[in-house]
Structure 1
Amino acid sequence: MPDIHIERNHTLGIAGAREVARQWVQQAEQEFGLECAYTEGKDRDTAQFTRAGIDGTVEVTASTFTLDATLGFLFSSFSDQIEQKITRNLDALLDAPQGGSRFA
């Protein structure tokens, strides 16, 4: 069971959702030092991310974003703050005009 689970519905379609997901991946790499691998599928894309103490996935469809992350011992005590930051960033991207502005 993941320590962090965030699910958001959207109306961007798969092309718009991919753009938002790629922006999220870029931001996560820069801001959090995560190593990310993005795999595009026909109806569903998956971004896997990792670094010492955190592993997870973002699943992207034409109508949903689902993020699951498992935190190591050192990060687990900060799970609420980490989840709040990720939620703010993802919501900012999804609420941006055409789903694609910089994070807050």
Structure 2
Amino acid sequence: MSDIMIRRRHGKSLTEARASAEHMAAELNEEFDLSYSWSGDVMRFKRPGVAGDLAVDEHEVALNIRLGFLLFALKPTIEREIHRFFDENFPV
């Protein structure tokens, strides 16, 4: 297993940050068939070979992803895509 952990500060309200996270999750669902659900301000997601959570608060978003063995080789590509999604949805 390989982990990806990314934290980013944002300048949004909690409601705006959660809406951005929801938008990001909808895009990931459409592009990668990633299922997700919310538990409070934590979104949990999964698909075969990938599981994780995205926590949103008033100041930052924190993403934790666990990649299965078969996706380990794609970790750099996946990290680039995550940063791109963060840049679009949580600009600094």
Q: Same fold (TM over 0.5)?
A: yes
Deviation at residue 15 of structure 1 after TM alignment: 1.1
2:55 matched residue in structure 1: 59
> Which one has more relative contact order, counting CA pairs under 8 Å at least 6 apart?
2
- In structure 2, the residue corresponding to 1:86 is in which secondary structure? helix
Deviations 1:35-75 (A, max 9, x none): 101223xxxx0010001100000000011000000000110
Q: Find the aligned partners of 1:60 and 1:73 in 2 and give their Cα distance.
A: 28
Unaligned runs of 5+ in 2: none
4+ aligned runs moved over 3 Å, structure 1:
none
Q: Indicate conservation of the 8 Å contact 1:2/1:68, yes or no.
A: no
TM-superposed CA distance for 1:10, in Å, is: 0.6
Greater strand content:
2
Does the CA contact (< 8 Å) of 1:8 and 1:65 recur in 2? yes
Equivalent pairs counted in the alignment come to 92
* TM-score, structure 1 as length reference: 0.82
Higher deviation after alignment, 87-96 or 46-55: 87-96
What TM-score, normalized by structure 2, do the two folds share?
0.92
Structure 1 residue 95: Cα displacement: 2.5
User: 1:94, CA displacement in angstroms?
Assistant: 1.6
Structure 1 counterpart of 2:79: 83
Consecutive unaligned residues of structure 1, counting only runs of 5 or more, are: 97-104
Matching residue of 1:6: 6
What is aligned with 2:68? 72
